[in-house]
């Protein structure tokens, strides 16, 4: 199943990057709301809400591909 934001991507492993990504989406949504663009505000606030869910509630670092042990090389037959 494909996700809207691939939380298994190695770039999202650091917590600070997940926090910054979420904060930028939410801040841009607030900016759009303040400047009078409710359509874009809803889009970015929804994206920010999705980031909160995907990065902080549904994110399982123990299942992250970078946390898996490397596969042993296969021996020639």
> pLDDT digit string (tens) for 13-49?
888 998 999 999 999 999 999 999 999 999 999 999 9
Q: Which of 38, 58, 61 is nearest to 49 (CA)?
A: 58
User: What pLDDT does residue 40 have?
Assistant: 96
Round to whole Å and give the CA distance between 31 and 60. Answer: 31
Is 69 contained in some domain?
no
Q: What is the domain range of residue 21?
A: 10-61
Domains identified in the chain, total number: 1
Is 53 contained in some domain?
yes
Is 46 contained in some domain?
yes
Burial class (CB in 10 A: 0-12, 13-18, 19+), 29: buried
Sign of the CA dihedral with 55 first, then 20, 25, and 3 last: negative
Is 74 contained in some domain?
no
Is 5 contained in some domain?
no
**Mean pLDDT rounded to a whole number for the chain:** 82
Round to whole Å and give the CA distance between 69 and 77. Answer: 24
User: What pLDDT does residue 41 have?
Assistant: 96
Is 45 contained in some domain?
yes
User: What pLDDT does residue 7 have?
Assistant: 75
């Amino acid at each position: 199943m494909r996700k809207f934001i691939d939380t298994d991507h190695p770039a999202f492993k650091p917590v600070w990057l997940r926090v910054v990504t979420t904060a930028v989406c939410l801040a841009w949504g607030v900016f759009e709301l303040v400047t009078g663009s409710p359509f874009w505000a809803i889009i970015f606030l929804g994206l920010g809400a999705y980031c909160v869910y995907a990065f902080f509630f549904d994110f399982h670092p123990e299942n992250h591909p970078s946390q898996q042990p490397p596969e042993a090389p296969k021996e020639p037959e």
